[in-house]
Amino acid sequence: MAKRTCEHGHIYDSSIYGDKCPFCPGGEKTIFEQNGGGNTVVNDGGDDPKYDDGGTSSTSTGKTEVYDGGDMGGGTMIFSKDAGGRTKTSNNRRLMGFLVSYETPNGEAYNIYEGRNSVGSDPRSDIRIAVNGVSRNHLTILCSPYDHRFILKDEMSTNGTFVGDKFVNADTIELKDHDIIKIGGATLIFIVIPQII
């Protein structure tokens, strides 16, 4: 990897991205500000005319929010929005697997990264499943890159979680490749990326 650091301090592989940092959308100036909830919003320099340099406080398409934890228990969380306004996880974690859903006609795949992955109907979830019966913070999938284990923890959801035929409510279960997860009205297929040594 040919490491390069952009003017905003992002480290990236210049053999893939050349001179354009993939973490600086549009190569514009990054703006930090406090939103109404006391959280810091990091913007990519969109096209809102209220800022001379093109910044915006909106978290619509292409924006990134950094929260200082606040009433969510502390810690820093980074949320990015894709073109559809869905939350994406920060790119600094290794991809470990996928959740696949056919709630839409053509299906959808959600990335599972090492560490903690939150799943729920809350827009701030790493994986947002906005289907009836899915709690705001429904479950967490913990991924260990060291022993390649995947643990699902139901977060005391209202309707619980099914892994195969097993009911999981406020409990944990180890996930295996191709496990079927049912939460509310959604059915998800868990797919593991094989570890290459």
* Mean of pLDDT over the chain: 74
Residue 197 lies in a domain: no
Structure confidence at residue 137 as a pLDDT band (50, 70, 90): very high
More confident residue, 146 or 98: 98
120, 154: one domain: yes
99, 186: one domain: yes
Residue 30 has pLDDT above 60, yes or no: no
Residue 59 lies in a domain: yes
Nearest to 168 by CA among 106, 179, 176, 159: 159
Q: Please give the pLDDT value at position 34.
A: 44
Residue 68 lies in a domain: yes
Residue 30 lies in a domain: yes
Structure confidence at residue 192 as a pLDDT band (50, 70, 90): very high
Q: Please give the pLDDT value at position 167.
A: 95
Contact present, 191 and 97 (Cβ < 8 Å): yes
Contact present, 131 and 186 (Cβ < 8 Å): yes
pLDDT tens digits, 31-62: 344 445 444 444 444 444 433 333 333 334 44
Does the pTM exceed 0.75? no
Residue 11 lies in a domain: yes
Give phi and psi for 40, each to the nearest 5: -85, 130
- Of the residues 56, 88, 120, the one at which a domain ends: 88
Number of domains the chain contains: 2
pLDDT tens digits, 72-122: 444 444 444 555 555 454 558 889 999 999 888 889 999 999 999 999 999
Residue 162 has pLDDT above 60, yes or no: yes
Instruction: Note the Cα 62 to chain centre separation in Å.
Output: 14
**Residue 74 burial (CB < 10 Å; 0-12/13-18/19+)?**
exposed
105, 165: one domain: yes
70, 14: one domain: yes
Residue 167 lies in a domain: yes
Nearest to 91 by CA among 24, 161, 26, 181: 24
Range of the domain at 24: 3-88
